[in-house]
Amino acid sequence: MNLTDDEKAMLDGHDGAAKRKAMELLVRYSEALGAERFVDTNNVAGVPGSSTLFLKNYYKDHNGGNYEAIFSLFDLDSDEVVPVPKVSAYSCHLQGGMDPNEWATMGQTKEAFEHFQEDEAQVADHGIQIMKTCTPYLAGNVPVKGEHCAWMESSAVVFCNSVIGGRTNTEGRESTSAAMLTGKIPDWGFHRDEFRHGTHAIEVEVPIETVQDWGMLGYFVGGAVEENIPVISGVTYQPNLVRHKHFGAAAASSGGVELYHMVGITPEAPSREIAFGPRNPVETIKYGAAERRKIYDNLNSIGTSTDVDFVMLGCPHYSIEQIWEAARLLDGKKLSPNTKLWIFTSRSVKSMADTNGYTKAIRDAGGLLLTDTCSAISQAIPKGTKVVALDSAKQTHYLPAFMGIEAWFGTTKECVDAAVTGHWRGELR
């Protein structure tokens, strides 16, 4: 690898043991990738030093499994605990843990909550912004086109690359924690122009309008192209932020899509030719009525009972527009006594919802607006849940597998209806 003087200095330990360990890890990682150099980054999003009780217990013989021990041994993959300095790069903490007020409702123990609070104090103390969301771009961290980022969270990565034109690979916990300390990340993949051209053509032959439609198309595209770069044409309806959010999250979970182009819509695809650049599409894939039907049935193949006892919205974390919509759908209604409704968002968006009265409106109907996490991340569902209703293809992909429950996938309106009636009445329209 070609290392600059500041990188060599960090590797030689001139800037302390933690930066040395971070650089050693980043060099091992870069060499595995086959990268020749690092790129500077000043926008890092990860889950630094956060620990499950398993990790805390595993490292209990090292400083009692404290923050510094977990950051050193797990995040930096070091064999010794080193003093962890404040971060150098602008960094934020993504989702994780539990709602800081409703943790007991989420089935968390007091021990886990106290541990969560200690972690959070450490994160703040290290100069990392407590965003606690999978949608940093809705909570104040909005990159610009061309900005080199080092982000975790596949749905945020695909949004950053595709909708904004920022540049990030899907980083992991260890690489983001190392990047926070060093401001370095391998110059590989989506940081490089030649990597960003499309590989597969997706020809959309049906109108894609609703959030549900965008989620289904994303789920189809991810399954069809896996980790490649789709170029989507035939879209006649301008998707807004929420639609991009659901499309990208779905494509990143059924496959590994980290960048997509939509002809005439996304910033690196003013035309089909520019989106593909020098590449010829390796395959052209059609999305018509039959494919749409099949994806819908696929997402609804894990439900048999129509008695819904749980509705979870907010994957990825709801925007204020979606919370407004949920509050309107719940207006004047009460939840079924057999059904719980949890809606997840970031603390920052929730504070707006508090001000606007949406948090209270949702609570008055019997639901809860929660922050920091979601059911899949925390593996937290109301006790006794057997059947969940979801408006997110991504959450439908993960939650039933984690929790061994049945799931229905539909529109937000159908989900709210299920929360109110206790019954699933969704259908493909």
Partner 1 sequence: MSDTIVLHGRAIVGGIAEGEALVTKETISGWGGINSMTGTVIEMRHELRGVSFKDKILVFPGAKGSSGWSAAFHTARLAKTAPKAMVFTTMTTKIALGAVVMRIPSITELDGDPLALIETGDWVKVDGDRGIVEVTKRAKRAAAPEKIAATA
Neighbours of 191 (CB within 10 A): 21
The Cα angle at residue 269 between residues 264 and 274, in degrees rounded to 5: 120
Could you say which of 114, 203, 297, 402 contacts partner 1 (CB under 8 A)? Answer: 402
Q: Which is nearer to partner 1, 314 or 422 (CB)?
A: 314
Give the C-alpha separation, 8 to 176, whole Å.
19
Residues 179-218, mask of contacts with partner 1 (x by CB under 8 A): -------x-xx-----------------------------
* Binding segment (CB under 8 A) for partner 1, from list 3-11, 153-161, 320-328, 346-354: 153-161
User: In this structure, what is the dihedral angle of CA atoms 260, 266, 269, 271, given to the nearest 10 degrees?
Assistant: 130
**162 is a site residue for partner 1 (CB under 8 A):** no
**φ, ψ for residue 46 (rounded to 5)?**
-155, -160
Q: How far is the CB of 158 from partner 1 (least distance, A)?
A: 10
Taking the complex as a whole, how short is the minimal distance between the CB of residue 113 and partner 1, in angstroms?
22
Position 36 contacts partner 1 (CB under 8 A): no
At closest approach, how far in Å is the CB of 119 from partner 1? 15
Q: How far apart are the C-alpha atoms of 315 and 155, rounded to whole Å? A: 10
Can you tell me which of 5, 54, 61, 144 binds partner 1, judged by CB under 8 A? 54
| 327 versus 377: smaller Cβ distance to partner 1 | 377
Number of shown-chain residues binding partner 1 (CB under 8 A): 41
**Residue number, 256 or 281, with CB nearest to partner 1:** 256
Distances (CA, A) of 158 to 190, 228, 255, 298: 11, 12, 12, 23
Q: Does 169 bind partner 1 (CB under 8 A)?
A: yes
Q: Is 31 in the site for partner 1 (CB under 8 A)?
A: yes
Give the phi and the psi of residue 210 in degrees, each rounded to 5: -75, 165
Q: Is 282 in the site for partner 1 (CB under 8 A)?
A: no
CB closer to partner 1 out of 135 and 175 = 175
Structure tokens at 256: 């590994």
| Residues 207, 211, 213, 214, Cα dihedral to 10° | 90
Concatenated DSSP letters for 309-329? -EEEE-SS---HHHHHHHHHH
Restricting to residues 70-99, name those near partner 1 by CB under 8 A: 74, 77
Contact 116, 25 (CB under 8 A): no
The binder of partner 1 chosen from 66, 161, 212, 253 (CB under 8 A): 253
Distance CA 177, CA 312 (A): 30
107 binds partner 1 (CB under 8 A): no
Helix axes 211-225, 241-254, angle to 10 degrees: 30
Q: Is 174 in the site for partner 1 (CB under 8 A)?
A: yes
Residues 370 to 399: which contact partner 1 by CB under 8 A? 376, 397-398
| Alpha carbon of residue 180 to chain centroid | 19
* Residues near partner 1 (CB under 8 A): 25, 28-29, 31-34, 47, 54-55, 58, 74, 77, 151-154, 157, 169-175, 186, 188-189, 226-227, 252-253, 255-256, 302, 376, 397-398, 400-402
